[in-house]
Amino acid sequence: MPTHPVVIGVDSSTQSAKAVFIDAVTGRTLAVGRAPHQVSGEGGARESDPEAWWHALCEAVTTGLKDSGLSASAVTGIAVAGQQHGLVVLDRAGRPVRPALLWNDTRSAPQAAALTEALGGPDAWTARTGSVPVASMTAAKWQWLREHEPRSVAAAAAVRLPHDFLTERLAGTAATDPGDASGTCWYSTATGAYDPELLQLIGLDGDLLPPVAATGAARIGSLTAAAAGELGLPAGIAVAAGTGDNMAAAVGLGLGGAGLLDHPALSLGTSGTVFAASRTRPASAALAGFAAADGTYLPLACTLNCTLAVDKVAALLGLHRDTAEAGGEVVLLPYLDGERTPDLPAASGLLMGLRHTTTRQQLLGAAYEGAVVTVLRALDEVLRACGLDAADPEVAARPLLLIGGGARGRHWVETVRRLSGRPLVIPGSDELVALGAAALAAGAATGEDPVALASSWQGGGGTELPPVERDMETWERVSDVLERAAPTLLG
């Protein structure tokens, strides 16, 4: 049994809740509890019941506590890292008015385009928020709700992000953090506050929003007796403000002011995400110019189609995902659910270069290549947002931190190595979002810097792979098809 205090980091993702119990001194994982989420919707719709998130969080925590064999009295803090951008609308009793609109719900693409135009174009938005509205952003979802469900808007007594909703259930206190708030397009990264003009533009009363804590590690309250009863934990332990899942992953990797700055990371999950922590405020229309959880910035690009899209192609071909081969002449852009980066919300998959000699294995390999080229092109933009030259040999030699479920897949790793030409580091921890949330919880309990804590826990350490020669032929072939097809064939 550990003699050190224990903290809980919760990763409330699109698909599940994970509660990771961490030794707050050593960073050792003591137990992990899990419970699934349900996502509904057809076409562009993607929705979930926020109450189900809470029930899954409770199940994950109670299961993890039981499996750990710990005394509940050892736990000193808890923090939630949640899927970003989701729109949660609550009534006066704090109950959801309707299912939450999720980050990958693309129905709000027309509203995003209209909002971009209404403020004067992409540059006007990036100057204020660091980001341009796309279908993922919460402001576009609120605008969609205003236009399609005015009764839901009229019933709104509070508007929350997914992690805000869960944090409020824990502490009984409304709060968010700069990181997750910066994904709404109604929070200004230039001023560090909600933007009154943007709120007026989308018809959102600022009184419906939670206060913004200084950082994701700020202690915004204590675990209420009611929540403690459901979780099996002591009432009164520290509850951190928490943050978005990408910001928490950065903390878990030790990226931030007290750790690595301007260092690239690539997450291969349902979505493909590239980011770096920087002191330079990003303002590129091609990126989400987020704030980080620790007071720095987190320029980030997200592609909608990554492991899930490639797995779908594998299923259609009747192949295991690791039987793929290099695509040869074939180019497959697996934009099965529209695409966020590049901004092509109405796109579908595009196949070019098919021959009689093309094999199923090459088709699957081409799906990997299309997904990886897309996300690596976005990585170059992230590096530029940090004030770096992506072609500089020193920058190109910085190891790429490869995380997410795809980082455990042989062909994913091989494709990223071949198309990036970079050295890779694959961290040993499978739960970096939850690890980052645990560091925020420890920060709330002790006042220590969460990035410094996570760095001491060495969550970013793992298997190191040397670079291989970059496959520029495939890179240029896929890039050429993407540039020629967008927007005509992919619009």
First to last CA, the chain: 57
**Whole-angstrom distance, CA of residue 62 vs CA of residue 233:** 9
d(CA 261, CA 33): 32
Rounded to the nearest 5°, which phi and psi values hold at 205?
-75, 120
Residues 6+ apart with CB under 8 A from 488: none
Distance CA 24, CA 165 (A): 25
Question: How far is Cα 200 from Cα 439, in angstroms, rounded to an integer?
Answer: 36
> Where on the phi/psi map is residue 71: left (φ > 0), alpha (ψ -120 to 50), or beta?
beta
Determine which one of 11, 245, 311, 449 is catalytic: 245
As given in the structure block, the two tokens for residue 121 are 């174009």
Q: Structure tokens of 228?
A: 């403690």
Identify whether the C-beta of residue 104 lies closer than 8 Å to the C-beta of residue 136.
yes
Q: Which of 181, 176, 116 is nearest to 143 (CA)?
A: 116
| Residues making up the chain, counted from first to last | 491
Residue by residue, DSSP assigns 249-271 as HHHHTTBSTTSB-S--EEEESSS
Q: Is 245 a catalytic residue?
A: yes
Structure tokens at 56: 């899954």
Query: Per the structure block, which two tokens stand in for 407?
Result: 């980082």
- The CA angle 285-289-292, to the nearest 5 degrees, is 175
Q: Which two tokens stand for residue 150?
A: 């005015």
Give the span between the Cα atoms of 140 and 469, in whole angstroms: 42
Token pair 């693409």 is at which residue?
109
Q: Which of 332, 304, 340 lies closest to 316 in space, CA to CA? A: 332
- The C-alpha atoms of residue 250 and residue 265 are separated, in whole angstroms, by 8
Tell me how crowded residue 229 is: count the other CB atoms within 10 A of its CB. 12
| Nearest one of 161, 170, 166 to 194, comparing CA atoms | 161
- Rg of the Cα atoms in the chain: 21
- Catalytic site positions: 245
